[in-house]
Amino acid sequence: MTDPTSPDLPAALEDAWSDFRRSLARRGRKPGTVEVYRKSFLNFWRWAVADGLPPDPGAVDHRVLNWKADPPAASRTVAYAKEWLNDALAPVWSAMTDARS
């Protein structure tokens, strides 16, 4: 795994992370929770950007997630996508949705 502290994402995604991190702090999330979210965020977005998705959390909706996990539309990344959709993206996506409200 790549070092989760390495800022190798596009600036727009790092800005989105900063907003999200501040929302976690406002809600009193523990450092370990923030670290899990950060690792998940980085791993998902590194994969997504490399797979051609725009670096915009607003561009990721159920249609994108369903397409990536749909076997007829399979690519070499489907297994990886399913893993992250199940294990990592769901809590990050949920928390980012909460942060917008």
Task: Judge residue 34's burial from the number of C-beta atoms within 10 Å of its C-beta, 0-12 exposed, 13-18 middle, 19 or more buried.
Answer: middle
Confidence (pLDDT) at 28: 94
Per-residue pLDDT at 26 exceeds 90: yes
Domain that holds residue 50: 30-100
CB 44 within 8 A of CB 88: yes
Indicate whether 21 belongs to any domain. Answer: no
Give pTM, 2 decimals: 0.62
Indicate whether 73 belongs to any domain. Answer: yes
Q: Is 23 left (phi over 0), alpha (psi -120 to 50) or beta?
A: alpha
For residues 94 and 20, give the distance between their C-alpha atoms in angstroms, rounded to a whole number: 11
Indicate whether 24 belongs to any domain. Answer: no
Domain count within the chain: 1
Confidence (pLDDT) at 3: 47
Q: H-type helices in 1-101, by residue range?
A: 11-26, 31-50, 62-69, 78-84, 90-100
Per-residue pLDDT at 14 exceeds 50: yes
Indicate whether 4 belongs to any domain. Answer: no
In whole numbers, what is the pLDDT of the chain averaged over residues? 75
Indicate whether 37 belongs to any domain. Answer: yes
* Mean pLDDT along residues 62-91: 61
